[in-house]
Structure 1
Amino acid sequence: MPLRIAVDLVFFTGKKGGTESYARHLFAHLADHDDLSFVGIGNRELAAQPPSWFPGEIVSLPVSGENRAAWAVAEMLAVGPRARGTKADVLHCPSNFGPAVRLLPTVVTVHDLLAHRHPEWVPGGRARGVQTLSKASARAASRIITISETSANDIRSLLGRTEVDVIPLGVLPVDPLDRHEPPARPFVLASGNRMPHKNFAKLVEAWAQIPLAERPKLVITGSHGDDPLRPLVDQLDLANDVELLGWVTDEELERLYDTASAYAFPTLFEGFGLPVLEAMARGCPVVGSDIPILREVGGDAMRYFDPHDPASIARTVREVVADPGTMADAGRKWASLFTWQRTADATADVYRRLADSVR
């Protein structure tokens, strides 16, 4: 009989960025493992419209994925009993949190510990609650997966879990011949939510320091509703140079990656930094923050700047846009080392080892 894996998808709405990209790609590629079967534990919305990428049925809990408090409580108290009721052998919680009490062998993927490292960057006063949830989840988990050595070090030092499975994320291969013709005016793409650690204000400030004759357009995606960057753009008189697109579809983001002259990632903190590889895979040169996690993910295939210094950001952007050189080829080669199939295969091995250990 195949090993039965219950997957906690109560969090999933399609609007939460990185953790949802992880779930979509991971479970689509786990479908190739014939010795595994899957059942998803979803929210009301997900159960009403089961996603095509999930390789199994979806059973629901009576909560909305749009209600943060409701799905957090469900993660801690309801997912475990529901998973046990499906007669699963293993429960996988892929979005940082899991049950407070272990009712069956449980794997939790912890992407990052932002709330522990920088609680001041967690909006809405949620840092303490997130800390409590993550500590309880880590105590109850049988195994913890994380996505980088940087995050693994945080988990060991802040959560006290010494055994951590580090499984990097992947990126889908892209045919370089599929790139579209770039627009007449070069543009630099940036994407992400508007949490403080994304550091987009410094990127906008950097744009004001690029001489007009050399200034590419800056396109920033990822906000919901009124963009908090708008007042800064207006204050610096950059309305003709900075375009705030808000949330875009996967198809729209794909075309932006495809036609951008460079991708800028001014972040101050990440668990991984998947957009770096997504841009590289498309032959788009990447400039980003000189912090340990991006050195780990981007290697020598990207250019680095001081994320606290707009002059450093502006200088690096100017140099890369003026002369991308061999960055496109170097980025493609580096990104090809990170595949979702590799991520899925390593995750399947964690399931098997955990199931074997409790038999």
Structure 2
Amino acid sequence: MIRVAALLGVLRHTTIAYEISEHIGQFPNIEMTVISYNDSLIDDLEIEIDTDVVTVKTLNASNRLDLRAISELHDLLRNESFDLLHTHHNFVGSLGCMVAPSDLPIIDTEHANHKDHYSVAQNLVNSVTLGRANRVVANSQATLDSLYPHERVLVPSNQRCVIYNGVDVDWIDTSTKDKTWRTDSPRVTTVGRLIPVKNQETLINSFSAVLDKVPDAELVIVGSGPRQSALEKIAESNGIQDSITLTGGVSREEVYNILYYSDVFALSSYSEGFCVALLEAMASGCPPVVSNIPVLHEVAGDTAVFVDPEDTEGFSAEITRLLDDEDRYQRYSIETRERARTVFSIKRTAEEYLDLYQEVAEGS
């Protein structure tokens, strides 16, 4: 039996680290404990915990440097006889590395591009503890390639690897039975936090030209964040607010339902660590038109159309072309669905982590 503590910042519908932990916990001879640094009561979590496969402990930290929560984490890692610590999320992962017993093996997963996503301060904090990990896992080759030279010195090449995130096909297929978002209008959907790096502005600015060719089309922007008001104003300034829906935060089941009843998935991000949303759209058979950045080529391969993230004319042209060309649309829909479901199964992700857990635990 390998007893694993997975340390996360929060547990949300979009927390892929928890979803992976839950799938790992389904294997025999693995005992998974997920520690949430910021969440308070388990009953208040927005996700349902499968207590048969994972135990969840919450530390209710009021801020990043909550001394009580750090002390509880310190005691937890020393008193629970864990065989392995798996850290996720930049700052909380660093805390775990600092307070863990020196003989406790650690696997650290890096979820975002270091150069594009993290500030100088965040990278400094991460760098202090990165060398403490026995293995550093990146969720994509692009994330691994983003490590700074000094981070590569701290983590030799034989201690670095890539394990891709995966998609839960059964969950997606179950969610599509709900017809709430069914529509006869052509629908373009994007999913992501409403923050500058996601660059939803390009999609909104491109949509006027889409409406010129497909007047009944609609753009659905799924997600919450500080840019919502600004994005609404951009839609109004283009005079297309009636054709755009900003859903705010919704459950994963509702995201899957929206994607299933969408015709095109569009993403104009400047940077992504992996982009689970793209993978979920692909698994739903929703052809993608996405930013021409390396990590999205990793995920989609030849099954997506790639456009520069600032090219509004390119996005409108490619979205319209997919909506107009039935043969091309069907080819992309079939190929993208097949790629997501065969190459990026979350079961495969869990199996690769299980192999790594066994390697590190036995090697220690």
User: Please, what TM-score do these two structures have when normalized by structure 1?
Assistant: 0.86
The percentage of counterpart residues that share the same residue type is 24
Does the C-alpha gap of structure 1 residues 48 and 137 become closer, same or farther in structure 2, counting only changes over 3 Å? farther
Q: Deviations over 1:73-96 (max 9, x none)?
A: 957x76354222211011111223
SS across alignment from 2:4:
strand
- Post-superposition offset of 1:290: 1.1
Alpha-carbon separation, structure 2, partners of 1:147 and 1:198? 18
Q: Which runs of 5+ in 2 are unaligned?
A: none
Q: Deviations over 1:234-273 (max 9, x none)?
A: 1111111211111112222121101101110111111111
Does the C-alpha gap of structure 1 residues 348 and 73 become closer, same or farther in structure 2, counting only changes over 3 Å? farther
- Post-superposition offset of 1:139: 2.4
Match of 1:331 among 327, 330, 336: 336
Q: Deviations over 1:204-259 (max 9, x none)?
A: 11112335242421110112475321111111111112111111122221211011
> Hey, what does 1:52 align to over in structure 2?
49
> Hey, what does 1:355 align to over in structure 2?
361
Alpha-carbon separation, structure 1, partners of 2:346 and 2:66? 27
> Hey, what does 2:224 align to over in structure 1?
223
SS across alignment from 1:155:
coil
Alpha-carbon separation, structure 2, partners of 1:168 and 1:217? 32
Does the 8 Å contact 1:206/1:314 carry over to 2?
yes
Q: How well do the aligned residues superpose, as a CA RMSD in angstroms?
A: 2.6
User: Counterpart of 1:8 in structure 2: which amino acid?
Assistant: L
The answer on 1:276 being equivalent to 2:275 is: no
SS across alignment from 1:107:
strand
Does the 8 Å contact 2:197/2:269 carry over to 1?
yes
Does the C-alpha gap of structure 1 residues 71 and 253 become closer, same or farther in structure 2, counting only changes over 3 Å? farther
> Hey, what does 1:14 align to over in structure 2?
12
User: Counterpart of 1:276 in structure 2: which amino acid?
Assistant: L
Alpha-carbon separation, structure 2, partners of 1:287 and 1:72? 46
> Hey, what does 2:17 align to over in structure 1?
23
Alpha-carbon separation, structure 1, partners of 2:203 and 2:67? 33
Does the C-alpha gap of structure 1 residues 203 and 239 become closer, same or farther in structure 2, counting only changes over 3 Å? same
Does the C-alpha gap of structure 1 residues 72 and 48 become closer, same or farther in structure 2, counting only changes over 3 Å? farther
> Hey, what does 1:130 align to over in structure 2?
122
SS across alignment from 1:37:
strand
> Hey, what does 2:81 align to over in structure 1?
87
Does the 8 Å contact 2:22/2:54 carry over to 1?
no
SS across alignment from 1:228:
helix
Does the C-alpha gap of structure 1 residues 46 and 13 become closer, same or farther in structure 2, counting only changes over 3 Å? farther
SS across alignment from 2:302:
helix
SS across alignment from 2:250:
coil
The answer on 1:33 being equivalent to 2:27 is: yes
Does the C-alpha gap of structure 1 residues 224 and 273 become closer, same or farther in structure 2, counting only changes over 3 Å? closer
SS across alignment from 1:300:
coil
Q: Which runs of 5+ in 1 are unaligned?
A: none
> Hey, what does 1:168 align to over in structure 2?
164
Alpha-carbon separation, structure 1, partners of 2:183 and 2:58? 45
Aligned length: 340
Does the C-alpha gap of structure 1 residues 73 and 166 become closer, same or farther in structure 2, counting only changes over 3 Å? farther
Does the 8 Å contact 1:8/1:93 carry over to 2?
yes
- Post-superposition offset of 1:320: 1.0
The answer on 1:258 being equivalent to 2:260 is: yes
Alpha-carbon separation, structure 1, partners of 2:57 and 2:253? 29
- Post-superposition offset of 1:29: 1.3
User: Counterpart of 2:289 in structure 1: which amino acid?
Assistant: V
Alpha-carbon separation, structure 2, partners of 1:26 and 1:295? 23
- Post-superposition offset of 1:48: 4.5
- Post-superposition offset of 1:195: 1.8
Does the 8 Å contact 1:145/1:166 carry over to 2?
yes
> Hey, what does 2:3 align to over in structure 1?
4
- Post-superposition offset of 1:308: 1.4
SS across alignment from 1:283:
coil
Does the 8 Å contact 1:194/1:228 carry over to 2?
no
Give matches, 1:77-116, under 5 Å.
79-96=73-90, 97-98=93-94, 99-101=96-98, 102-103=100-101, 104-113=104-113, 116=114
Does the C-alpha gap of structure 1 residues 229 and 45 become closer, same or farther in structure 2, counting only changes over 3 Å? same
